[in-house]
Amino acid sequence: MRLVLAGTGSAVGKTTISTGIMKALSDEYTVQPFKVGPDYIDPSYHTLATGNTSRNLDSFFMSEGQIRNSFERGLNISDLGIIEGVRGLYEGISPIDDVGNTASIAKALDAPVILILNARSLVKSAAAVVIGFKTLDPSIKIEGVILNYVKNKKHYLKAKEAVEKLAKTDVIGGIPRDDAIKVEQRHLGLVPAVERENIINFIEKWGNIIKENIDLDALLAIMRESGRLPEGRADLWYEGTHNKVKIGVAMDEIFTFYYMENIEALKANNADVVLFSPFHDEKVPDVDALIFGGGYPEIFARELESNKSMRESVKKFHNDGYPIYAECGGLMYLTDSINERKMCGIFNYPSWMTKKPQALSYVIAKARYDNIISKKGDIFRGHEFHYSKVGINGPEPCFAFDILRGRGIMNSLDGLMKENTVASYIHTHIAAFPKLASNFIEATENI
């Protein structure tokens, strides 16, 4: 059984409602959460709500066959697959096509859609919004509506009547306005759940609000009618023939941005994945290569600076010629400093946070040289979102990638490259670069 929770736009309360529904249904069912688009933050809430790691579905990264494969792999033995959309239902890269939007995921999975609508000050106009969404693409199965930010019961009942009679669509609930359930936001969205000890309390509140205001039986009835997944599957990653290697993956309160399929692809290519913490551990583990994902190292810059033994251990690992791959926050950790706090110094440039976003888009990159994750001429997709800069001074360093779409570090270049270390602002998903894991392990074998 599956369902897409889509918004009429951004800031309509998708994450609060989606997470609340996941929590409420998790009391009786095994729920597998999913998120549309390149997002690490909302999935952290889903994971806490359900106890199952949330996965991403993205039509910029994935073919329809890969979307179905990813969904099926994630669902596994779970009872329900619930997918939170991104922005508005139809918002993607193009003003006309569906690449990168929620509608493309609903189509690939032939999944019913519940439309979440900001009903503040709307009654009859709410019906007009729903009619517009249904008629723009009749192949999208909008089976229900949730009205958010309703003023009171009278407002809810009037808007419900308008939508059901004029738009011929069931309204399965309305959420009252309540500032008490809002969560602090940071520059890239909701604050990551791992940083907030009290986030479980918020999720509990969201779940209770959903139970009080949403017809969960109606929601489940819609899911039961979802039927079989469409035919057609495609592999998410390439599996090479490799010797056993050990890959250290930095994962703690700081480095949290990882796609589950990327880790699974490493294991499928004969790697033992060893988790470690640049925050808590004294040195890197006994491994053959390291990966530093994204996160919020700037929030913990003082703690990272204080862990001098770890920083020196990472630098020595690099100097000894072992492969290191880093993305975004991981890139910053490998620079000389973050906001003047000393870091690993593999790349002798400072990095710092900015008040305005420096990049927020999908990326297409082309390898300029053979490196630890790609071969010269390889083209792959990813995404970048950061409020930071790396200060390149002196001669231009060696960059691994030309940026065909996006910004990169500077001058449409990304991927600082030094010996067997590559660090970039690009976040990659294995489906968008199926040989990533195999290439990295091959580079590790060849050391």
Domains recognised in the chain with CATH numbers: 2-224 (3.40.50.300), 245-445 (3.40.50.880)
CA-based nearest residue to 374, from 319, 411, 315, 414: 414
Residue 11 has pLDDT above 70, yes or no: yes
| Mean pLDDT for the stretch of residues 406-425 | 97
* Confidence grade of residue 200 (pLDDT, cut at 50, 70, 90): confident
Catalytic residue among 328, 367, 400, 416: 328
| Mean pLDDT for the stretch of residues 18-41 | 96
Strand 294-295 with 255-257, pairing: antiparallel
* Confidence grade of residue 304 (pLDDT, cut at 50, 70, 90): very high
Q: What is the pLDDT of residue 182?
A: 66
Q: What is the pLDDT of residue 181?
A: 64
Residue 223 has pLDDT above 70, yes or no: yes
Share of the chain above pLDDT 70, in %: 96
Torsion of CA 20, 22, 24, 27, to 10 degrees: -150
Residue 131 CA to residue 354 CA, distance in Å, equals 42
What mean pLDDT, rounded, does the chain reach? 94
pTM: 0.94
Q: What is the pLDDT of residue 23?
A: 97
Residue 189 has pLDDT above 80, yes or no: no
* Confidence grade of residue 187 (pLDDT, cut at 50, 70, 90): very low
398 an active-site residue? no
Residue 184 has pLDDT above 60, yes or no: no
* Confidence grade of residue 196 (pLDDT, cut at 50, 70, 90): low
Residue 327 CA to residue 415 CA, distance in Å, equals 9
